[in-house]
Chain A
């Protein structure tokens, strides 16, 4: 796994990457491999955010693409393939979490943490997990509907139009939730600074 430097703060706000895919689900293997290129990082990030485990996140992200390819016939007329990918990823993450809750498959956190501390990719995962935990601590204090829009836009890099499709909401609603969520995050920051002062 590679960690890349994250988004920088810019004067007008951090810019997201351009929409990675325009059009429907590719039907040929060549086009599909381009779709994988366009979304692989986003799918892994989305799954990692939900699962907190890079290894599982990669597995889930791979499965998302395999399932999408197998379903490409019926997706030929689906114009928003991005929203479809995120929906499949979310469902697979839910399945994975359900399986992990079984007692006999519990992971030994201590050993995993030790393994993470041992090698570069493990360390990177630990740093990324720590960062996600920090962000999540803020989002937990924001109404869930607003927090989820922020997660999808900021962490998963979905465009507002895609979020509207994924959450079955109106575009204006999505933008409002995003704005109100940021207002609350700003309020929390202010309170935190007041406490520190």
Chain B
């Protein structure tokens, strides 16, 4: 072998991946041993490579694949050309994203109804956004290690004087059933004006086995319980007589414990993915803070979209991130500038064991004295329901477009708890467009009762032959931003700079809201509204 041949093939000796065959390698090694010059050359290359090879490298985050599969699932919905190819993944991976949409939808409803002073704060965009994003990520290490982690949090329901604000407090709460499905329930936290109370949340999680227990109590009374003991899932269910019981169900063969315990059990469970929905322009650096133990933190404010004119909304979240560990220490929800709820992490310790069998808690479901104010309502949202399902569940006349808009795919309907008027249900119909011009149509009991007032101050744009009227308002863009923001997790896209929003007045006296992620010509608007029909007349295309 010539020295030039040896040197040309040196990269192969440096790298096993492109390793030559055994004979070739032997040949190269023989030359190396017989030629000191070439041996020195190879050593030089080896040292050169060592100087370049980094000693640390990054890897994808633990939930990376789930996010990808959820996005793929959302994309797959466009055009529906491959029926149910990702169906199995929808059930698991996509639900967190849907939760995010619902969380935002809830905020939408609330912020639509409340007006007050403008929120302050210095926009920091990506910086504040990054702090919050990293704070969410900092939850993940809490759920790792060899021992059981025990986390205690306090949910403080704050005293407010407005009776409407007082009764409307809630948080999303995730529960896992025996099939491994995550359901989004609502923790309702109503109060009388001026009244305040605390709900205690306790979580145990064993990283090695993924066993968990999650319990909420108020004044010692159990209001929520969910656990997995490695073989069965425990949850609170009502028996046929309406009496709450803790029910044990063996897990199914497809059962998988939470893949990302931080997003299932962490302080911002159900809201982690919400971050993707909020426009970065709505994330603010709200300065420094000092916690009760004297430690310091950074405050990040996540506001809701503001109307382009008229009184601005003052509904927002404050996330207080502890400087020492970069994790969220407190999360506070404000409306009309008043504190509605404060979720505070009160304790975190490592323990050797925990009781995963929650049957022992059952006596605390009944208890004595006054019933707790707080309660858990099942199915804050149910994704992918049919038009027939919607008509059967709605307690008002629902409408649907007789055919999907020409530029979109088929409708995706999500049933949502109408948080302003529980137990009424709301329905969000999303038509995803490949070009991003998604259409969202939302119908709810609370809209029907409250948006009529907004119509009075609006402008009548069009009256359809089918009797539907289209109203525009100075809050149209705001309405569109909020509704599209709610649907964004499912639409898997960005918000248009100038979305349009309308309120529809139907012949049935209902007031659905319509939002389009982009501009809509007069003809397109008319065609869209002309195609509205009562949902019970709908025939699947």
The one of A15, A66, A121 in contact with B15, judged by C-beta atoms closer than 8 angstroms, is A15
Residues on the B chain within 8 Å of A105, using CB: 125-126
* A161, CB-defined interface residue at 8 Å: yes
Interface contact A125-B72, CB-CB below 8 Å: no
With A15-B16, A115-B134 as contacts: A179 and B7 at CB distance below 8 Å: yes
Interface contact A138-B51, CB-CB below 8 Å: yes
Residue of A nearest to B73 (CB): A29
Chain B contacts with A in 1-38, Cβ cutoff 8 A: 7-18
Q: Distance in Å from the Cβ of B262 to the closest Cβ of chain A? A: 12
Chain B contacts with A in 266-309, Cβ cutoff 8 A: 285, 298
Chain A contacts with B in 26-59, Cβ cutoff 8 A: 28-29, 32-33, 36-37, 40-41, 43-45, 48, 54-55, 57-58
Bound-complex Cα distance A75 to B49 (A): 35
- Determine which residue in B54, B57, B124 has the highest number of CB atoms from chain A within 10 A of its CB, and name it: B57
Bound-complex Cα distance A48 to B13 (A): 28
Bound-complex Cα distance A32 to B85 (A): 12
8 example contacts (A-B, Cβ-Cβ < 8 A) are as follows: A3-B58, A3-B59, A4-B56, A107-B126, A118-B323, A181-B48, A185-B49, A188-B51
Interface contact B58-A128, CB-CB below 8 Å: yes
With A1-B59, A41-B60 as contacts: A107 and B130 at CB distance below 8 Å: yes
Residues on the A chain within 8 Å of B49, using CB: 13-14, 154, 182, 185
Residues on the A chain within 8 Å of B56, using CB: 3-6, 124, 127-128, 131
Interface contact A29-B89, CB-CB below 8 Å: yes
Mark each residue of chain B from 39 to 77: 1 if its CB lies under 8 Å from any CB of chain A, else 0: 000001111111111111111111011011101100100
* A61, CB-defined interface residue at 8 Å: yes
Interface segment, B109-117, B135-143, B532-540? B135-143
Bound-complex Cα distance A113 to B67 (A): 26
* A195, CB-defined interface residue at 8 Å: no
Interface contact A119-B54, CB-CB below 8 Å: no
Bound-complex Cα distance A65 to B62 (A): 16
Interface contact A58-B64, CB-CB below 8 Å: yes
The one of A41, A55, A124, A189 in contact with B47, judged by C-beta atoms closer than 8 angstroms, is A189
Interface contact B58-A159, CB-CB below 8 Å: no
Size category, A interface: 35 or more
* B198, CB-defined interface residue at 8 Å: no
- Determine which residue in B47, B130, B135 has the highest number of CB atoms from chain A within 10 A of its CB, and name it: B130
* B392, CB-defined interface residue at 8 Å: no
Residue of B nearest to A159 (CB): B17
Interface contact A58-B48, CB-CB below 8 Å: no
* A155, CB-defined interface residue at 8 Å: yes
Interface contact B45-A183, CB-CB below 8 Å: yes
* A132, CB-defined interface residue at 8 Å: yes
Residue of B nearest to A57 (CB): B58
- Determine which residue in B54, B128, B138, B327 has the highest number of CB atoms from chain A within 10 A of its CB, and name it: B54
- Determine which residue in B16, B52, B137, B138 has the highest number of CB atoms from chain A within 10 A of its CB, and name it: B52
Residues on the B chain within 8 Å of A28, using CB: 85
* B162, CB-defined interface residue at 8 Å: no
The one of A15, A66, A135 in contact with B54, judged by C-beta atoms closer than 8 angstroms, is A135
Interface contact B130-A14, CB-CB below 8 Å: no
With A4-B57, A111-B127, A111-B131 as contacts: A135 and B52 at CB distance below 8 Å: yes
Given A40-B65, A159-B17, A184-B48, 20 other A-B residues pairs in contact with their CB atoms under 8 A: A2-B58, A6-B54, A6-B55, A19-B17, A55-B133, A66-B492, A107-B125, A111-B131, A118-B326, A119-B135, A119-B327, A121-B134, A131-B55, A138-B51, A175-B12, A183-B45, A185-B48, A186-B45, A188-B51, A189-B48
Residues on the A chain within 8 Å of B15, using CB: 13, 15-16, 153, 160
Bound-complex Cα distance A169 to B141 (A): 43
Interface contact A65-B72, CB-CB below 8 Å: yes
Q: Distance in Å from the Cβ of A159 to the closest Cβ of chain B? A: 5
Residues on the B chain within 8 Å of A4, using CB: 56-57, 59
Residues on the A chain within 8 Å of B498, using CB: none
Residues on the A chain within 8 Å of B137, using CB: 1, 119, 121
Interface contact A150-B72, CB-CB below 8 Å: no
Interface contact B64-A61, CB-CB below 8 Å: yes
Interface contact B44-A183, CB-CB below 8 Å: yes
Chain A contacts with B in 63-105, Cβ cutoff 8 A: 65-66, 69-70, 105
The one of B61, B69, B327 in contact with A58, judged by C-beta atoms closer than 8 angstroms, is B61
- Determine which residue in A32, A45, A182 has the highest number of CB atoms from chain B within 10 A of its CB, and name it: A182
Residue of B nearest to A53 (CB): B130
* B86, CB-defined interface residue at 8 Å: yes
Bound-complex Cα distance A159 to B17 (A): 7
Interface contact A12-B13, CB-CB below 8 Å: yes
The one of B7, B57, B138, B492 in contact with A121, judged by C-beta atoms closer than 8 angstroms, is B138
Interface contact A132-B54, CB-CB below 8 Å: yes
Q: Distance in Å from the Cβ of B131 to the closest Cβ of chain A? A: 5
Bound-complex Cα distance A106 to B130 (A): 13
Interface contact A107-B64, CB-CB below 8 Å: no
With A14-B50, A29-B72 as contacts: A45 and B131 at CB distance below 8 Å: no
Residue of B nearest to A41 (CB): B59
Interface contact B17-A18, CB-CB below 8 Å: yes
Mark each residue of chain A from 161 to 179: 1 if its CB lies under 8 Å from any CB of chain B, else 0: 1000000000010011011
- Determine which residue in B45, B89, B134, B135 has the highest number of CB atoms from chain A within 10 A of its CB, and name it: B134
Q: Distance in Å from the Cβ of A171 to the closest Cβ of chain B? A: 9
* B195, CB-defined interface residue at 8 Å: no
* A23, CB-defined interface residue at 8 Å: no
Residues on the A chain within 8 Å of B327, using CB: 119
With A65-B72, A121-B138 as contacts: A1 and B61 at CB distance below 8 Å: yes
* B524, CB-defined interface residue at 8 Å: no
Q: Distance in Å from the Cβ of B338 to the closest Cβ of chain A? A: 29
* B325, CB-defined interface residue at 8 Å: yes
Interface contact A36-B126, CB-CB below 8 Å: no
The one of A45, A175, A179 in contact with B59, judged by C-beta atoms closer than 8 angstroms, is A45
Q: Distance in Å from the Cβ of B409 to the closest Cβ of chain A? A: 14
Bound-complex Cα distance A189 to B48 (A): 7
